[in-house]
Structure 1
Amino acid sequence: MTQSPTLFHRLASASLIGLIALCIAWEMWLAPYKPGGSIWVLKVLPLLFPLRGVLQKNIYTLQWSSMFIMFYFMEGVVRAMGDAELISRGLAGLEIVLSVLFFISAIYYVRPYKKIAKAAKKKAETESSASN
Structure 2
Amino acid sequence: MSSTLHTQSTRNKAYWATVASLLALIALCVAWELFIAPIRPGGSWLVLKVLPLLLIVPGIFKQRVRTYQATSLLVWLYFAEGATRASSDPALASQLMAGLEVFLTIALFASVSVFARTYKVPKTKVA
Q: Give me the TM-score of the superposition, normalised by structure 2.
A: 0.88
Partner of 2:109: 103
Partner of 1:63: 69
The gaps in structure 1 that reach 5 residues or longer are: 127-132
Could you list the structure 1 runs, at least 4 aligned residues long, displaced by more than 4 angstroms after superposition.
Answer: none
Residue 4 of structure 1 aligns to a residue whose secondary structure is helix
Partner of 1:26: 32
Shift of 1:59: 0.5
Normalized per residue, the structure richer in helix is 1
Among all aligned residue pairs of Structure 1 and Structure 2, give the percentage whose two residues are the same amino acid: 41
For 2:111 and 2:118, locate their aligned partners in 1 and report how far apart those are by CA, in whole Å: 12
For 1:101 and 1:14, locate their aligned partners in 2 and report how far apart those are by CA, in whole Å: 9
For 1:74 and 1:54, locate their aligned partners in 2 and report how far apart those are by CA, in whole Å: 22
Letter in 1 for 2:104: L
Conservation of the 8 A alpha-carbon contact between 2:32 and 2:38: yes
Which structure has the larger Rg? 1
Q: Which one of 49, 56, 61 corresponds to residue 55 of structure 2? A: 49
For 2:49 and 2:58, locate their aligned partners in 1 and report how far apart those are by CA, in whole Å: 18
Letter in 2 for 1:43: K
For 2:40 and 2:99, locate their aligned partners in 1 and report how far apart those are by CA, in whole Å: 20
Shift of 1:49: 1.2
Partner of 2:44: 38
Q: Give me the TM-score of the superposition, normalised by structure 1.
A: 0.84
Letter in 1 for 2:112: A
Residue 40 of structure 1 aligns to a residue whose secondary structure is helix
Partner of 2:3: none
